[in-house]
Amino acid sequence: MRSSVDTLLRASRVSARVRIVGGSLVVEGTEPLRAAAALQYTPGVAWVAAGFSFHSLSEAAKVSGQLASRYLRRGQTFSVEAEGEGGVAASDVGGVITSGVLESVKGARVHSESPKVRFRAAFGGKKGVVGIEVRRGPGGVTMGTRWATCLVSGGAHSSVLAWAALLVGFRVRLVHLKVADGGLRAVARLYAELCRRVDPRGLRLEVMEGAALSEELANYLAKSRGQTFGGFNATRGPVPAVLRGVVEAPLYLLPEETFASEFRSLGIRADDSEAQWASSGNTSFLVRAFDGWAEDVSAILDGLR
């Protein structure tokens, strides 16, 4: 997780130091809101907070009061979620933060279930941080070492599948069967967006050029490292016969409304043309690949080799 965050911050040109305090990843720098924006979609991130560092519990009370005076108004509710390590109890950290907030904003009230403002804090005995939660992250788990191959047509369902695979910790190889330029551009947009969210070392795009899917291509997929997934679902029909036993459809029963919601969260346009999976009898194909960071869609298309 720390390595991925380092990479994403450098790609966003955010100068910062990353360290771990308890179960929290702390990013220290002069541009906290830029760092928060860069990490808001990173798998494994449940929330993002921005605030100040401190070196003692008495200093924690002071900086918490400063934060409260900026973000909290009289009569509004707040919560404090804290953790401690190195012999420091989380309850002690939370108690000091709460006291600092109440002292700074008269009439503020603690409400743990639906607060107006959430304070997040962590203290390791020598240095700690306290901040205001500014964004919710996607959750999931951080990128692991396992690879999965995801068939992507450029449509909404396969795009959501690829994002879901990243959220559960897979490194993902996107495999696209080129039928038309529209689908390829949609897949390039997907790759560009996913590179903003995860460490690009865990992403690879492969574009297969030839005719429609053949048994040779199915054999190629069968030899892929890790599992192979497809965005097939109940609204579009079953997995094509040529792919059965090769491709799994883990989101098959996901409601269409959920697909639509998750695809909107990606902020990209889909290619709605029908994917061509039937065999044409043409057994030859060419594979072009791209991996690594890319600034835009044009760079990805130009970089396919």
Q: Which residues sit opposite 133 in a β-bridge?
A: 49
Structure tokens of 8?
Answer: 């994403």
The span from the CA of 278 to the CA of 276, in Å, is: 6
Q: Quick one: CATH architecture of 147-303?
A: 3-Layer(aba) Sandwich (3.40)
Residue 160: is it exposed, middle or buried by C-beta count within 10 angstroms (0-12/13-18/19+)?
Answer: buried
Coil, helix or strand at residue 47: strand
The topology under which CATH files domain 2-136 is VC0802-like (3.30.2130)
- The confidence score (pLDDT) of residue 214 equals 59
Q: What pLDDT, on a 0 to 100 scale, did the predictor assign at position 65?
A: 97
pLDDT at site 285: 74
Note the pLDDT tens digit of each residue in 105-131. Answer: 999 999 988 999 999 999 988 899 999
Residue 87 contacts residue 52 (beta carbons within 8 Å): no
Token couple for 247: 């491709």
pLDDT value at residue 205: 96
> What confidence score (pLDDT) does residue 218 get?
73
Which amino acid type is present at position 66?
Q
Residue-level pLDDT at 283: 60
Q: Map 80-142 to HEC letters.
A: EEEEECCCCCHHHHHHHHHHHHHHHCCCCEECCCCCCEEEEEEECCCCEEEEEEEEECCCCCC
CB contact at 8 A, 67 and 131: yes
| Residue whose pair of structure tokens reads 């194909």 in the numeric block | 285
Pairing outcome for strands 171-178 and 147-151: parallel
Domain segments of the chain as ranges? 2-136, 147-303
Contact present, 68 and 121 (Cβ < 8 Å): no
Per-residue pLDDT of the chain (305 residues; tens, 9 = 90+): 888 898 899 888 888 889 888 888 999 888 888 888 889 999 999 999 999 999 999 999 999 999 999 999 999 999 999 999 888 999 999 999 999 999 999 999 999 889 999 999 999 888 999 999 999 999 999 999 999 999 999 999 999 999 999 999 999 999 998 888 999 999 999 999 999 999 999 999 999 887 556 566 677 787 777 899 999 988 877 888 778 888 999 999 999 999 999 999 999 999 887 776 655 555 667 889 999 887 789 999 999 97
Name the pTM for this structure: 0.88
- Number of Cβ atoms within 10 Å of the Cβ of 242: 17
Instruction: Look up residue 281 and give its DSSP letter.
Output: S
**Region for 150 from its dihedrals, namely left if φ exceeds 0, alpha if ψ lies in -120 to 50, beta otherwise:** beta
Gap between the Cα atoms of 65 and 55, Å rounded:
15
The residues facing 215 across adjacent strands are none
Strand order from edge to edge, sheet including 227-230: 227-230, 147-151, 171-178, 203-210, 285-290
pLDDT of residue 137: 92
pLDDT (0 to 100) of residue 95: 97
Which pLDDT does position 138 carry in this prediction?
93
Q: Read off the DSSP letter of residue 231.
A: -
Beta-carbon contacts of residue 197 (< 8 Å; ≥ 6 apart):
41, 42, 43, 138, 166
Q: What's the confidence (pLDDT) of residue 281?
A: 56
Tokens read off for 273: 């043309």
